[in-house]
């Protein structure tokens, strides 16, 4: 039996796919998820062989689900989409299975045949998923997981990130969450125009900086709008200096103060 999970925020769409699968004796529906966070938890718990995954879902999209699980651990994926022309083109280029809503029985049967062949060949399509993720237009966010719950953190809410062993602790104005990713990995993939590493163990959102103070040995400190106080090490001070210069150059009046050179 091919264990199958159906993920779609539209109940009718889930019921339609489930009904089509019930007519196939070799597929077993092991669960349904109405949103991305539930999908992440169910993929980790049920470990399905294949996932029918809606692309356009609120809060956590289909691409977010893939990123949270990881392309290597992701089950074989059939993306389901209603109107995302970019996604359809990307799926075709990367030879990713997809269904364009509304789809008929013949198209569904074609996809199931491909799923059977790929599972028999042991081809999960991780490389294609990785390439698709890199090219897909997406709203940046981080995903914190723990105790079977996935919490989405929009990047615009992140004030700073601190190292916590092999994990990173993400701080917003109202909460702190651990994510399973290192500071070095985050520093490499966060947008450089918005975030900078100011210490080997700290990444800061640049426009969250309210005050910068210089130290006596080339280091310094930053106070954020949330009130958090962070150390700026000499090794990483250039990023802060560049940001302050840019603020001055455009007459930024957000109230950043600087006490001495950083």
Fold of 141-249: OB fold (Dihydrolipoamide Acetyltransferase, E2P) (2.40.50)
Distance of alpha carbon 169 from alpha carbon 89, whole angstroms: 37
Condensed to tens digits (0 to 9), the pLDDT of residues 207-250 reads: 999 888 887 777 889 999 989 999 999 888 888 888 878 777 76
Q: How much is the average pLDDT of 144-171?
A: 84
Backbone dihedral angles phi then psi of residue 81, each to the nearest 5 degrees: -145, 150
Delimiting residues of CATH 3.40.50.2300 domain(s) in the chain:
2-122
Contact 94, 131 (CB under 8 A): yes
Q: What's the pLDDT score for residue 262?
A: 52
Query: What number of CA atoms fall less than 13 Å from residue 98's CA on the CB side?
Result: 26
Does this model's pTM top 0.85? My answer is no
Residue 108: what pLDDT?
95
User: For residues 76 and 78, what is the distance between their CA atoms, to the nearest angstrom?
Assistant: 7
Residues 163 and 120: beta-carbon distance below 8 Å? no
The pair of three-digit structure tokens given for residue 69, joined into one six-digit string: 């699980």
Q: Among residues of the chain, what percentage have pLDDT more than 70?
A: 89
193 Cβ contact list (under 8 Å, min separation 6) = none
Query: Per-residue pLDDT tens for 72-114?
Result: 889 999 999 887 776 777 677 666 788 988 899 999 999 999 9
User: CATH 2.40.50.1020 residue ranges in the chain?
Assistant: 141-249
pLDDT of 224 reads 92
Region 2-122: CATH code: 3.40.50.2300
Say what the alpha-carbon torsion angle 119, 149, 189, 52 is, to the nearest 10 degrees: 30
> Quick one: pLDDT at residue 63?
86
Asked if 51 contacts 7 with a C-beta cutoff of 8 angstroms, the reply is yes
């Amino acid at each position: 039996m091919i264990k199958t999970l159906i993920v779609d925020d539209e109940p009718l769409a889930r019921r339609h796919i489930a009904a089509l699968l019930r007519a196939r004796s070799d597929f077993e529906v092991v669960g349904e998820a109405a949103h991305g966070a539930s999908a992440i938890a169910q993929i980790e718990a049920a470990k399905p062989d294949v996932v029918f995954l809606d692309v356009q879902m609120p809060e956590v999209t289909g691409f977010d689900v893939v990123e949270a699980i990881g392309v290597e651990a992701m089950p074989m994926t059939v993306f389901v989409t209603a109107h995302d022309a970019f996604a359809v083109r990307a799926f075709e280029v990367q030879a990713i299975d997809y269904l364009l809503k509304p789809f008929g029985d013949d198209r569904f049967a074609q996809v199931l045949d491909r799923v059977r062949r790929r599972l028999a060949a042991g081809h999960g399509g991780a490389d294609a998923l990785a390439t698709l993720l890199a090219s897909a237009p997406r709203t940046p966010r981080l995903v914190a997981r723990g105790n079977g719950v996935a919490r989405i953190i929009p990047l615009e809410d992140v004030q700073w990130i601190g190292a916590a062993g092999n994990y990173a602790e993400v701080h917003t104005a109202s909460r702190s969450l651990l994510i399973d990713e290192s500071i070095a990995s985050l520093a490499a993939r966060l947008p450089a125009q918005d975030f900078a590493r100011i210490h080997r163990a700290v990444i800061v959102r640049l426009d969250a900086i309210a005050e910068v103070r210089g130290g006596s040995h080339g280091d310094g400190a930053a106070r954020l709008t949330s009130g958090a106080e962070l150390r700026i090490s000499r090794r990483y001070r250039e990023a802060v200096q560049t940001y302050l210069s840019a603020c001055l150059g455009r007459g930024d009046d957000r109230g950043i103060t600087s006490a001495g050179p950083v």
